[in-house]
Amino acid sequence: MPDSPLISVIVPVYNVEKYLRKCLDSICGQTYRNLEILCVNDGSTDGSAAILEEYAARDARIKVFTQPNGGLSAARNTGLEHATGEWVTGVDSDDYLEPDAYEYALSAVADDVDIICFGTKVIWLDQPQETHLIDFYKHPLEGKHKPTLSLISGTDDSFWNKLWRKNLIEQQALRFPVGLWFEDSLFWHTAAPFARSIAYLPGQKYNYIRHAGTIMSQVFGKNPKTLDRVRIAELLMNAYAARPLPGHLQRVQLDSFLFCFTCALSDVPHELHPQVWEGMRRIAFEHCMFDTWPEQLRFLRPVPLLLRPFVRHQGPGKSSYGLPGFRPLVIQRKNGMKITRFLGIKLHRKPC
């Protein structure tokens, strides 16, 4: 094509010798040739390093960086530090691309497009298919759109099935949180509100492999590490505080907070739910959220019904709901009034 912007492709690599050749072949064999391929060997102990050196010796577009194991986010951040392309994307090293993925993605380029999203095909190797994933990767719309609340919340948050304009990454100082799961969620929810436009293409050009070794497979196994959702919520709120949201997207803060909150309750083992409640309450207080969100807290009103099996009567006119040792909801009847408090915050007060 006459205008051929450079695409920086970040490939984090850690002990994936079984999948790595297919991944690299799919990148090197792209019909779009103007690529720099940034492979970050994140302390692999298998044959991955030798494979990287082999491919780098025969394709000058491949650059290999080796570092002690720091996790997926640390490897991607190394790639971001060395990326020089106008566009940045990634391929996880156990996944692979269709041959025309980047040529297809660049067909959506316009002057004001900062993120290009293309379709994803989920491939299960040694696990039963999860139909919710197929729905998760369906785009809410097609074509070019300004970011809206529904678009941001309705788009999958994966890093690798998108092209990101490098200027957006630099302007928003975007990086991945080292040591935490759900790093893609933080990146997407921090970047998308500030994009001038987001383009959506329906073609399934990224092949996402699900097998027992992937992080997301562990998420659905109720791993205690899923408590990272709370920390991601905190980092998101800090990011929005540092870079105020556009006026028409002020509610993104609330939507992102509730997204992290509900995902945490879904993902975290039941015995860690008190830590979720306590962590989210702390974040809300630190950012003065309850001062400006009275109407949005209506979603909490069904809580008494949901927690009725756990009711504990604490004396005349006072009941609390929750788990043993942690009762976030208290309903008190006093002087003809019913007062409801959630996490110590007064939600409403009305006549009995």
pLDDT at residue 307, rounded to an integer = 47
Q: What does the pLDDT look like over 110-162, one tens digit per residue?
A: 999 999 999 999 998 876 677 778 888 999 899 999 999 999 999 999 999 99
Please say if the pLDDT value at position 286 is more than 60.
Answer: yes
Residue 300 pLDDT class (50, 70, 90 cuts):
very low
Residue 15 pLDDT class (50, 70, 90 cuts):
very high
Spatial contact of 276 and 227, defined as CB atoms under 8 Å apart: yes
Average pLDDT on 58-83 reads: 98
Please say if the pLDDT value at position 176 is more than 80.
Answer: yes
Q: What does the pLDDT look like over 200-216, one tens digit per residue?
A: 999 999 999 987 655 45
Q: How many CA atoms lie within 13 A of 165 on its CB side?
A: 21
Residue 326 backbone phi and psi in degrees, to 5: -150, 105
Q: What does the pLDDT look like over 89-123, one tens digit per residue?
A: 999 999 999 999 999 999 999 999 999 999 999 99
Interatomic CA distance for residues 115 and 46, integer angstroms: 35
Domain covering 7-219 assigned CATH 3.90.550.10 in the classification: yes
Other C-beta atoms within 10 Å of 38: how many?
Answer: 27
pLDDT at residue 12, rounded to an integer = 98
Concatenate the DSSP letters of all residues of 309-349 into one string. GG-EEEETTEEEEEETTEEEEEEEEETTEEEEEETTEEEEE
pTM of the model: 0.82
Residue 229 pLDDT class (50, 70, 90 cuts):
very high
Please say if the pLDDT value at position 269 is more than 90.
Answer: no
The helix/strand/coil state of 352 is coil
Average pLDDT on 21-37 reads: 98
Interatomic CA distance for residues 308 and 37, integer angstroms: 56
Please say if the pLDDT value at position 217 is more than 90.
Answer: no
pLDDT at residue 171, rounded to an integer = 95
pLDDT at residue 327, rounded to an integer = 61
pLDDT at residue 123, rounded to an integer = 92
Answer left, alpha or beta for residue 336, where phi above 0 means left and psi between -120 and 50 means alpha: left
Other C-beta atoms within 10 Å of 51: how many?
Answer: 21
Q: Quote the strand ranges of the chain, DSSP E.
A: 7-13, 35-42, 62-67, 87-90, 96-97, 113-124, 143-145, 162-165, 197-210, 312-315, 318-323, 326-334, 337-342, 345-351
Least confident of 35-44, 162-171, 250-259: 250-259
Interatomic CA distance for residues 61 and 46, integer angstroms: 24
More confident residue, 300 or 50: 50
Domain ranges of the chain: 7-219, 224-293, 298-351
Spatial contact of 73 and 183, defined as CB atoms under 8 Å apart: yes
Please say if the pLDDT value at position 244 is more than 50.
Answer: yes
Residue in 116, 98, 97 with CA at minimum distance from that of residue 106? 116
Mean pLDDT of the chain: 86
pLDDT cut 70: percent of the chain above it: 82
